[in-house]
Structure 1
Amino acid sequence: MYFYAQSCPSTATAWRPTMASATPPSSPPITITASPAVSTLYDESNLIFMAQYGYSATSLTDGPSGVVNSFTINYPTWGPEYHYLVSKTPTPALKSGVSYQFSFNFKLGQVYGTYNRVSSMTLYLFRPDDITDPNGSSQYFTTSSGTPLLEKTFTGSFTSSTSFVANSVTIIPTTDIGESVLALKIQRTTQTGPVVTTIFISEMKLTIPSQPIVPPSTLLTKDSELVNIPKPPLSAIDIQDPASCPYAATNLVHWHDPTIWSGGVVPAPNTATITLPVNKRVLLSPCSISQTAVYQKIVIPATSELIFSDAAMTWNVKDIYVQGRFTMGTRSCRYNANINIVFHGARTTASTIATNFGSKGIAVASTGFISVQGKQYHQTWTKLAATAWSGDCIIYVQDDVNWEVGQQIVITTSIYKDNLRNQNEIMTIAAIEGKKIQLTTSLRYYHYGGQEYQAEVGLLSRRLVFRGDGNSSNTDSDQFGGHILVNSNGQFSGLQLIKMGQKNIKGRYPLHFHMAGTVTNSYISDCSVLDSYYRCYTIHGTNNLTLTRNVAFNAIGHCYYLEDGVEMDNLLSFNLAARIQTIGQPAAGSTQYGDDFTESDSLKQPADVTASGFYISNAWNSFIGNAASGGWASFSFPYLERPVGNFLTSPIVPFQYPLKEFNGNTAHSSGYYFEFGSSIYVGGKLTYDDSDGLLYYTNGRVSRETYSNGVENDANIVWMTFNNTKVYLSNRGIGMWGERSEANALESHDSRRPASLFGESWVNNALVNGQSANLLAKGNEVSRQGFQFYDTYVKTILTNVVFRNYATVYPYSQSSEDDNKVIISMTHSDEFKPQGISATRNITLQNCLASQIIGHNIVDTGSSRYFNFIDFDGTVTGRAGVPTIVGAHDKWWQFDSSCVYNSAWNSWVCDKGSREIANVQFWVPGLISRDESWPANSYVGYTYLFGNGISDVRRTVATRNAGVTGISNAGWYLYLTAGSPTYMKIWLSQVVYSNYVFLAVRYPASTTFSVSCEYKYNSQYSYNFTMAASPSAVRNGNGKTYHFDGTHLFVKLVNFRLDGSEYFSRGGAKIFDVYWEFLVHINAKNTVTPPVNGFFTGLSDVLPSSTL
């Protein structure tokens, strides 16, 4: 027989349970004047034994039975004289001048004797990167030569073997300490001797003392200095109309009314399938159901509706299938009750809800509709208005919020490597007064709230909660929570989802619009996801959906997930994602191309090795005001040549779509797993192999073209545009492998680099701050650069950029390229060499050392020899108003008397005048190749400047790798040590309109020549050159002549195909195109001094006249 948890007093149509009040609970006043003392405990769970030898996995074990917070140190025979206990968790932030206490109880495991004497202990606080990683695989202790942040040696009572004896030491930092690793060195008088010995320690802790609460003198009123990060408007608050509440309708019947059910009996929870009566609107009240028994399966027919009362209840259920309507509140009647649905079930891939809809959750059929809408909280997340320290129990936020006492919030990390050193904290509200919040416990970590950036504070709690049965024995270990799948229109707001998602089962996500097509009036708003086993919010085969004002914290796999590459015209606004964890080892790779990953049972979507806050398989969606903390990346835009999953036959090409809108988004604490990773990452390639039916993913470089309608057509070419973007604590803020990108209004703080952009790219109106006041960002973990110019075939323009706080030398710098510099070169390659591809204009330098403005690395490569950029107004080089060319270290760049060598920059700085950067490639059969890669030291000769009064040697090395970059409208003399060739092809890759290169090549007397030019794609630009009377006549001529003076062949290199339109221009700066396949051919013959194997050998190196 079935018994209700409680009996309902009536089955009358008009009866209703008492509905929850919309009146929020009142908060007690905040009267606390001092923060309580708070301690961090240490034991074998968060310590590791380290030494030079004598360590093992069992060096630390549980303490004596019955002794709380205790552990045992187990020493081997003849162990080391000293060792370290190193914390695996970050140390709280410590303030200068404050007294902190480190304490523990000590007891010897054996009677005090020769081999177990502890003479002293030393407490250290190390920078995390100065010692062996305590969370790594090694217990071998090493430390760099850097001075510890704190060091305190002390003695104590270390002789008792009969009882624990208390020991403590006071430490007073002399400077604020943000991030550190605590290590306790235990020094013995001897080795451990011939027998095994032990030490017991209990109650080891670091205590932050009680301190007076002093309100900040000022609170932040804006979150950024430059960019405009939008916030949800007050119009986002839904107007409530109690008369519209669904439970108030008069045509409802009660679940607990036997007469509505077949057979006249209310179904019991163990009924295999409970199908609602057709054509009925059924009201579910707390007294209608058992609050503890697990219901098996509920089916709502297409003509029926299940309506919840706005009254507190808990419903335990396995499956719910909605063919009709499922209603738990509406937009105008958000529910105020604490309603919980708990989904039950063991891990399975079977579809017990309905075909293809899985198990353990709610599935809404294409005929159905779901509305789950709970009390609205505004804002759902905000940011700190002042820095919160370890030990603080009061925080200040930037927005007035209607959050409630007892609710949980998350305060995000303020460190760079979030997933490696987790400092996100879930706290509970004790009291709240506007923007001032008291917490029930003190913060363990430091959370930054300076003007540069601030930790986010997100509300996790909601009145409506759907959750997986996380307390069961199978759910946590199997990572198999509940899921919601909507195959139609639906509305969700004010819902919390806990322990939802089913790891590595496609389509089983916490909240998921699945193959719904173009939806209308459908949204997910102000919800939260906590501790998800697989993703957060998924848009799959669905368009026109709104995701707004949601929060997600601690999820496995990509969080906000646009699944197959066909999802377009969706709006994602004002959402927060934090602490997103990859599936499997995070993707890395030693080259730009990363590593390769294949779909498997343990990695059903191989791109989850790069799990990110937002996964965007098709960019034609709108992203406004979102923030992502942590993850492999914060925003990930993978390259899909075609859709995957259910849309393999779709004709669209996802990667060809640009961003519909990307405005006011923030990304931080990500991008660090991969050397070329970034917080906003446009890269990685996902493909489907028809032959084996598997997905494949590569996390590295892949280029993309973008078009206005996603269809390849030169008339539709558009740029990927990022507006009002904020990045901080990033490896690289925006990383774009594609062909065209613009970052307009970019604010970057404490990032290794603010952006790394390929193709034609423009960074405009930016603030790039190398060092904020965040204590956690003041270490030497990484160096920081304002921007790195690439080494070949791109066009990069920086305009209206403020670079700030590049004022210190990186102590571990190995070259200028890994120092703290504003602009750095890329110099690793001889095969890839820069043309004229980089330009700046209107750059402001604030608190930047002169030596740190340009970092050029002198190495034996072409990319080093030809580093250059144009400073269009002289604001980088300190020559305001003077257009300037910056060239590399060789005197080859000293092209006139204006040039000055800056030894700090390893660069020449020259007036630009009317000159441009030029690049040509000499292709010599058997010597200099276009299509082969040769070692950097494969020297074949030199290229010299000549003429214009130059009589000294100003040259650079030529190698077998083609390409020479220099100054236009100048004399270039090519001398090859192997001899001059009988045939040479010259590609005028960048000899720009109205400019030329005056070329001289050494040949023996009596040589005759045939010189011509051609444009590969149009024969009308092909000419046969004629002999001119003199070198001067060639230089001053039309570029269709040559001259041989018995020593040098002179040719004026001019690209006749150009009309002056071949450039990329932004913000008053211009970069000319590399123009493909305009060629000059030189054929040489000499019967007096015949060539040897195609070369005229034995020629002396003679510089042409300085008067030319």
Structure 2
Amino acid sequence: MNKIIILLINILFLTSVIKSDVCPIDSSWRPTPASINPPITSPPLPTTQAASDIVYGANDLYYMAFYYVTTPNNLQDVVSDNDSEFTVNFPAYSPNYFYIVSKQSAPSLKANVTYQFSFDFKLGQPSSPIGKIENMTLSIYQPGDTDYILWSYRAPTYAKTFTGDFTSNTDFKTTSITFSVPFDIGLSIFILQVNRSIATGSEITNVFYRNMKITVLSKPIVTPPNLVVKDSELVYLPKPSATLDPQDATTCPYLATDLVHWHNPSTWPSSLVPSPSDIITLPAGKRVLISPCSISQTQIYQKIIIPPTSELVFADSNFTMNIKDIYVQGKFIMGTTKCRYNANINIIFHGSKSFENTIAPFFGSKGIAVAAGGFISVHGKQYHSSWTKLAATVWSGDRVIYVQDNVNWEVGQEVLIATSIFKDEEDNQNEVMTIKSISGRVIEFTKPIKFYHYGGSEYQVEVALLSRRIVFQGDEVSSQQDSFGGHILISGEGQFAGVQLKRMGQKNVKARYPLHYHLAGVVNNSYISDCVVTKSYYRCYTIHGTNNVTLTRNVAFDAFGHCYYLEDGVEQNNILSYNFGAFVHTIGEPASGGSQTGETFYQNENLTQPADSASGCFYITNSWNTIIGNSASGGWAGFSFPNLEKPIGNHRDINMEPQAWNTKVFEGNTAHSSGYQWISGSSIYVGGKLTFDEEAGILVYNTGRFSRETCKDGIFSWDSMTYEWMRFNNTKIFLSNFGLQHWGSRVEVVNLESYDNNRPATLFGDAWLSNAIVDGQTGNILSKSNLYKRQGFQLYDTYVTTILSHITFRNFIENPTSIYPDDDNVVIIALTFSDIYKPQFISSLVNITLQNVPTSQIIGHKIVNDSGSSRFFNLIDWDGSLIGNPGVPTIVGSHEKWWKYSDALCHFQPDWTVWVCDKGSKSVGNIEIYMPNLIVRGQQYEYGSYVGSVSLFGEGISEIRKTNISKNAGITGILNMGWYLYLTGGSPTYLELWVAQVPFGHYIFMAIPYPAGTVFNIYTENRWAWENAFGFNATLGTSAAQVRAGNGTIYYFDQSNLFIKIVNPARFGDPSESFNRAGVKVDYVYWEYFYHIHASNPNVQPNADGFYPSFAYNLPSSTL
């Protein structure tokens, strides 16, 4: 009797919850596997492009009149059968013209192509002479100009005045005009100016519009003649193999003979098939096959637990499962590496926002958690390539695009075309399209493209597939309402391929990310391949406390928080290859700040990871990973390398300094449309600092300037033999602020293409940029604006060593609106703002090529007389290739005559406001002089704190060639020359002179005036050397000439000037004494060799500050 009851219960359950009429329980039965073929055969590609309309309604427009901007009552929607109908209402005594302005960008317009503008119009009251409409003008403006046209004249980029029937108040009358612009316009705002005969009177009036639109007319579809076949000119951007992953259908897991059916009552210990309301635990030791007819596809299942000895195997058939939680201790199998499923399988996670651990302790709710020792394998059909790039530029109204790679995408799938604009978050021009037809590298969409997308020879934006057959997603209602989607957490081994994750991630809930390796340690066979994350509330792909994971060929679009995320700083030996991320949003207001110090953010309930204030596509807390062939569009930065002095989170007690690890491999990566939200922002950012405040128990993140020391095996040492340079190979950056910003101590950027960036890179420490193309303006019409200042490279102002080699600079054209070089488009720009920070010899260039660069734009040096960084600006062009003197090593120095060491070998370049001199045997060096009560080491003083000057003398120099010196220490100038130090307040009884940068074989012939009868005690100190190695006591010589010809150990006083030859005997010319790359060098500063000079005079009393009375300026002999 009991068996009959149980059988009846099962029958009732199966008939109520199972969609299929028949669900056999025979152990050999399997549902028919899904086909690999597209569900819809693609129709032929069209030969003609249909006309397309961009329609403007009340929500797309606003009203302006003289000194008057719209209020909600001026331009209103009208309830009618036509959604585009709106009314413009005029207050009494309105002016004789008004504007209707588009809120959003007008379509991109091709030069000399005919477009149509049309609308229906009628008056709201009978026509009268007062306020009669005479004509209208269609104008195209730069977007920013529309904010000012009421207050000052802004010329439109195009305008056309026209007439029409504007007298009817009963029937709409259609006005249609054609127009064509004389040059390409990528980004604009249209304004319709309505012109009356006179102003309106005392009555309130109105007019009606409908069907206002710009039409892109029909045209034949012709294959562009110059399709891009090579995505880069110089750098190599690797791609994954073009072949699909090998498959073997005989290995498919649903074919195993030891499977038992979910829907078979005998599978379950109770002999009852579980109901959706149960907490379902698979029977121990069994491999359970779940088929479409096994479950209800509409009811929500509460929870499934897979014990350690059990497996849940899915059939390769179309179905939907609605569920709250799945806990995997055993195996969860939905396809394998060798057997990708072709079915449309939809797993929907349900549950409102909760912090309860309903899956398992520490694993949260609304998703899948795989315990340590567990295994999950989800493999859907492979679509390849998962992303590609345009092969030709796309214009508004186009429906067909050409891409660079053959793709096996399908009709009905969604495709992303990435933005071609700089400020991605401020003007979202990423477009999601649906495929109508497809053949190889040509794709037609169901609707016209709205924006311009660049696919020129210099760079091409990405095109990514957003659809997959297997979809894991958060339920639509609760997920969107609370930004609380589903999540997948793996603490064991996990393999995912061909999966779409939609509405996943739980905003500001740690460890609740769309796809997340969580504290899995060293894994052996875990990967995420050709998956896609869309509409994520918190991150995309996370590696946390896990090593040896591979993320490859994945796509992510529209996510909050860092997207590809290495969490704690201990994650190493992972591979991130051929992935694409786009449209990543910060959590809260984006980090900004007006200086290099950035902003500081603190962990709180609305920002649980404060670094998400600077969210980017790739977030790399430990550089010892392989990062190859990836691309990042948008985000605060494309690739972020924050500084962590120690790991965070679960690994705070690990003895490691993440920031000390070098880049294992960073090769062939691309970033664009980022870096604009902060003055020092960039698309690849090595900077910022993330710490854990032990006292407060929270994370703290500062976005600003923090350096890092990269060393062998991540172990910091003062031993230079352990130093390693962060290396960025084959990198491409476009539409960025500073391209690659690196605050660290050592960096090499080799093989770089930089296009339409404000700067290609900002590099600190020992920095080498080599083999690069830096293009100030490409053919991308969206990047052409006089608002931008493009600079090839800014040379820093102090204590760095920079070498630029084998670089081609292109298209740096004068900006006629610029006042200073800082605002102009120039190749080399000097940093000239400070008197505290002054340049030593820190910049070397070699093998520079200039293309389409006027002479005036080669060097930009702003004269700031009170700034030491301006007065001492310098560089060495080792082969004359920058300044246009091929084969002649050249010294470039600032505007001061101090740099003119030779009449024959030096000339002033007025375009650059610098002196240009043949280098010959000369070089550039630096000293710092300290004097009690005048120039005190470590003190900083305001502009203009002058204390004297330093002048060139000897070698035939008779005119005054000097520069001012201030209380801020530091003098940089031509070596192997006479330097006359003149202090307006008199010479000191004691000074110490730091020989900061006088390399082997070079010297400074120093002269200092003193009163007759002065006696000197001069000795040197090698401050940090054992037993003062190479120190000596100087002796009195017999002539100034003897001093200059000597080895620095003698001095001479001619009763007017003290002469001493400044050398550094601790320098031997060893390569380690300079930063050497590409056959040229920058000499290192030496820490620290000092000359100490004590002066006493029995006849002249110094003042209370220790200075003798001042003397008249008297330049030493020109014959010395």
TM over 0.5: yes
- 2:699 aligned to which of 695, 698, 703: 695
Residue 111 of structure 1 deviates from its aligned partner by 5.5
- 2:490 aligned to which of 458, 479, 486: 486
**Match for residue 669 of structure 1?**
673
CA distance in 2, matches of 1:50, 1:681: 42
CA distance in 1, matches of 2:509, 2:21: 40
| Paired letter, 1:539 | I
Change (3 A) 1:942 1:110: farther
Residue 1023 of structure 1 deviates from its aligned partner by 2.0
- 2:850 aligned to which of 845, 854, 864: 845
Q: How does 1:914-993 map to 2 (within 5 A)?
A: 914-993=921-1000
Report the secondary structure of 2:612's partner residue: helix
**Match for residue 872 of structure 2?**
866
| Paired letter, 2:1079 | G
Change (3 A) 1:317 1:778: same
Residue 73 of structure 1 deviates from its aligned partner by 3.8
| Paired letter, 1:220 | V
Mapped contact 1:129–1:781 kept (Cα < 8 A): no
| Paired letter, 1:278 | A
Provide the identity percentage: 54
Provide, for residues 753-802 of structure 1, a one-character-per-residue CA deviation record: whole Å limited to 9, x for no partner: 11110000101111111121112122223111111110100001011111
- 1:269 aligned to which of 270, 276, 300: 276
Report the secondary structure of 1:709's partner residue: helix
| Paired letter, 2:114 | S
- 2:1095 aligned to which of 1081, 1084, 1088: 1084
Mapped contact 1:875–1:881 kept (Cα < 8 A): yes
Residue 940 of structure 1 deviates from its aligned partner by 1.5
**Match for residue 139 of structure 2?**
124
Mapped contact 1:282–1:307 kept (Cα < 8 A): yes
Residue 307 of structure 1 deviates from its aligned partner by 0.8
CA distance in 1, matches of 2:153, 2:89: 29
Higher mean alpha-carbon deviation, 332-341 vs 192-201, is at 192-201
CA distance in 1, matches of 2:589, 2:462: 27
**Match for residue 410 of structure 1?**
416
Verify: 1:1029 aligned to 2:1034, yes or no.
no
Mapped contact 2:983–2:1110 kept (Cα < 8 A): no
| Paired letter, 1:205 | K
CA distance in 1, matches of 2:1088, 2:199: 75
**Match for residue 887 of structure 1?**
893
Report the secondary structure of 2:844's partner residue: strand
- 1:53 aligned to which of 68, 84, 89: 68
Residue 168 of structure 1 deviates from its aligned partner by 3.2
Provide, for residues 566-590 of structure 1, a one-character-per-residue CA deviation record: whole Å limited to 9, x for no partner: 1110000000111111111111111
Residue 77 of structure 1 deviates from its aligned partner by 5.5
Mapped contact 2:45–2:444 kept (Cα < 8 A): no
Mapped contact 1:35–1:442 kept (Cα < 8 A): no
Provide, for residues 731-754 of structure 1, a one-character-per-residue CA deviation record: whole Å limited to 9, x for no partner: 111110000000111111111111
- 1:227 aligned to which of 235, 239, 255: 235
CA distance in 1, matches of 2:1091, 2:64: 67
| Paired letter, 2:1062 | L
Verify: 1:543 aligned to 2:535, yes or no.
no
- 1:706 aligned to which of 699, 710, 714: 710
**Match for residue 15 of structure 1?**
29
Report the secondary structure of 1:633's partner residue: coil
Provide, for residues 512-555 of structure 1, a one-character-per-residue CA deviation record: whole Å limited to 9, x for no partner: 11111111111000001111111111111110000000011111
Provide, for residues 961-1005 of structure 1, a one-character-per-residue CA deviation record: whole Å limited to 9, x for no partner: 111110101011111112222221211111111211111112222
Residue 30 of structure 1 deviates from its aligned partner by 3.0
Residue 87 of structure 1 deviates from its aligned partner by 2.8
Residue 1031 of structure 1 deviates from its aligned partner by 1.2
Residue 928 of structure 1 deviates from its aligned partner by 1.9
* TM-score, with structure 1 as normaliser: 0.96
**Match for residue 1103 of structure 1?**
1115
Change (3 A) 1:943 1:129: farther
- 1:353 aligned to which of 341, 347, 359: 359
Verify: 1:203 aligned to 2:211, yes or no.
yes
Residue 1103 of structure 1 deviates from its aligned partner by 0.8
Verify: 1:589 aligned to 2:593, yes or no.
yes
Mapped contact 2:929–2:935 kept (Cα < 8 A): yes
CA distance in 1, matches of 2:653, 2:886: 57
CA distance in 1, matches of 2:191, 2:485: 39
Change (3 A) 1:1100 1:391: same
Residue 1006 of structure 1 deviates from its aligned partner by 2.1
Report the secondary structure of 1:875's partner residue: coil
Residue 887 of structure 1 deviates from its aligned partner by 0.8
Higher mean alpha-carbon deviation, 1019-1028 vs 223-232, is at 1019-1028
Mapped contact 1:116–1:197 kept (Cα < 8 A): no
Residue 7 of structure 1 deviates from its aligned partner by 3.4
| Paired letter, 2:665 | E
Higher mean alpha-carbon deviation, 1016-1025 vs 969-978, is at 1016-1025
Change (3 A) 1:348 1:71: farther
**Match for residue 55 of structure 2?**
41
Change (3 A) 1:891 1:185: same
- 1:176 aligned to which of 177, 184, 190: 184
CA distance in 2, matches of 1:386, 1:197: 49
**Match for residue 818 of structure 2?**
813
Change (3 A) 1:1032 1:152: same
**Match for residue 563 of structure 1?**
567
Verify: 1:1056 aligned to 2:1065, yes or no.
yes
**Match for residue 159 of structure 2?**
151
Report the secondary structure of 1:297's partner residue: strand
CA distance in 1, matches of 2:259, 2:550: 31
Provide, for residues 902-933 of structure 1, a one-character-per-residue CA deviation record: whole Å limited to 9, x for no partner: 11111111111111111111212222233122
Q: How does 1:499-518 map to 2 (within 5 A)?
A: 499-518=503-522
**Match for residue 137 of structure 1?**
none
CA distance in 1, matches of 2:507, 2:929: 57
- 1:103 aligned to which of 107, 110, 118: 118
CA distance in 1, matches of 2:420, 2:889: 41
* TM-score, with structure 2 as normaliser: 0.95
**Match for residue 136 of structure 1?**
none
Q: How many residues align?
A: 1096
Unaligned runs of 5+ in 1: 133-139
- 1:875 aligned to which of 874, 878, 881: 881
Query: Which runs of at least 4 in structure 1 moved beyond 6 Å after TM superposition?
Result: none
Provide, for residues 29-68 of structure 1, a one-character-per-residue CA deviation record: whole Å limited to 9, x for no partner: 5342221111222234333444533543565443235441
Change (3 A) 1:556 1:46: farther
CA distance in 2, matches of 1:197, 1:925: 81
**Match for residue 1078 of structure 2?**
1067
Report the secondary structure of 1:1100's partner residue: coil
| Paired letter, 1:543 | N
Report the secondary structure of 1:295's partner residue: strand
Higher mean alpha-carbon deviation, 1069-1078 vs 81-90, is at 81-90
Residue 8 of structure 1 deviates from its aligned partner by 3.4
Mapped contact 1:228–1:724 kept (Cα < 8 A): yes
Mapped contact 1:116–1:188 kept (Cα < 8 A): yes
Residue 595 of structure 1 deviates from its aligned partner by 1.2
**Match for residue 9 of structure 2?**
none
**Match for residue 435 of structure 1?**
441
Q: How does 1:209-288 map to 2 (within 5 A)?
A: 209-234=217-242, 237-271=244-278, 273-288=279-294
Mapped contact 2:42–2:410 kept (Cα < 8 A): no
Change (3 A) 1:47 1:649: farther
CA distance in 2, matches of 1:157, 1:408: 44
Verify: 1:338 aligned to 2:352, yes or no.
no
Verify: 1:765 aligned to 2:776, yes or no.
no
Residue 172 of structure 1 deviates from its aligned partner by 1.1
**Match for residue 1015 of structure 1?**
1022
Change (3 A) 1:576 1:58: farther
Residue 156 of structure 1 deviates from its aligned partner by 3.7
Change (3 A) 1:1073 1:193: farther
CA distance in 2, matches of 1:771, 1:149: 20
CA distance in 2, matches of 1:144, 1:635: 41
Q: How does 1:587-736 map to 2 (within 5 A)?
A: 587-713=591-717, 714=719, 715-736=721-742
Mapped contact 1:53–1:80 kept (Cα < 8 A): no
